[in-house]
Amino acid sequence: MAESERRAGTSEEVAPPVQQCFMVPKKEINVVSDMAKWKRSQAYADYMGFILTLNEGVRGKKLTCDYKISEPIEKLVALLNTLDRWIDETPPVDQPSRFGNKAFRTWYAKLDQEAEKLVSAVIPKHLADAAPEVAVYLKESVGNSTRIDYGTGHEAAFAAFLCCLCKIGVLRVDDQMAIVFKVFNRYLEVMRKLQKTYRMEPAGSQGVWGLDDFQFLPFIWGSSQLIDHPSLEPRHFVDEKVVNENHKDFMFLECILFITEMKTGPFAEHSNQLWNISAVPSWSKVNQGLIRMYKAECLEKFPVIQHFKFGSLLPIQPVTS
């Protein structure tokens, strides 16, 4: 396999040689002062590079456009379909409705047990040793089974899971659009189903002052999709008719649709940050602003990053330039 074929994420990142020592990722951010280690780490640089590479990859493209679908992409979709099927097989239990439903713990226990097997089905035999490391990010990506909550830290774990698959060469540069449109979009559908079915709490939600109770990345990538759109401007996403007519093409509008399904009352009241964003003049400004906000509100917040796990693929060691 040529070196260039193994490049993952950005051009500087080259997938590690196959004889790498994989390890089960562990927690490294234990106190607020550890946040400096995270911001200097190879993991942070690679994670952010991955997010920004995908941001460029989907720029100006619709969800419904044509793109290459490789075998690993199909296998990842099959994995997510399995998680979806397990939700159907694990109905909510009878309990007081204001709490997260305990059936989520049953569903999660199944994932906990099967995660390595699911990941092994996606990666080639010669990379079998990577499965325990990569599977940790999959398990972390669906919410917390004790608190029955879900938030941007869990979403980041799924992006880290995909980033690791790029670093070991399972996903390639030409998979970029499919990573976002096929895999991440399917992940969002499964997470929305989990949130609805088990009434999951938003983890660390800032309520009306946060961007969204559960997700962040689809707003970044979704705003990139809309850059230079001939007619849709940021002010249009608060228009119900525009959302209904275009949500199948644009992730950002799909997110808005889900919010309006889940929340009642005026949009400006339940989603104040998004309402403010609708006043920004262009999608490229929205996109840049959301990237800054993601770093500040998610990646630089101790309550979110304290749960992040570090291994051989996303190491805590400082960046080697």
Show the domains of the chain with their CATH numbers.
26-309 (1.20.120.1150)
> 169: Cβ–Cβ under 8 A, 6 or more apart, which residues?
1, 5, 6, 8, 15, 127
pTM given for the model? 0.92
Q: Which residue has the higher pLDDT, 13 or 61?
A: 61
> 267: Cβ–Cβ under 8 A, 6 or more apart, which residues?
238, 260, 274, 275
Q: What are the tokens at 2?
A: 């040529």
pLDDT tens-digit series, residues 289-311: 999 999 999 999 999 999 999 99
pLDDT tens-digit series, residues 48-100: 999 999 999 999 999 999 999 999 999 999 999 999 999 999 999 998 878 89
Identify the band that residue 122 occupies on the pLDDT scale cut at 50, 70 and 90. Answer: very high
Place of tokens 């979806």: 84
* CB of 111 closer than 8 Å to CB of 86: yes
Identify the band that residue 321 occupies on the pLDDT scale cut at 50, 70 and 90. Answer: low
Place of tokens 């983890």: 203
DSSP code for 118: H
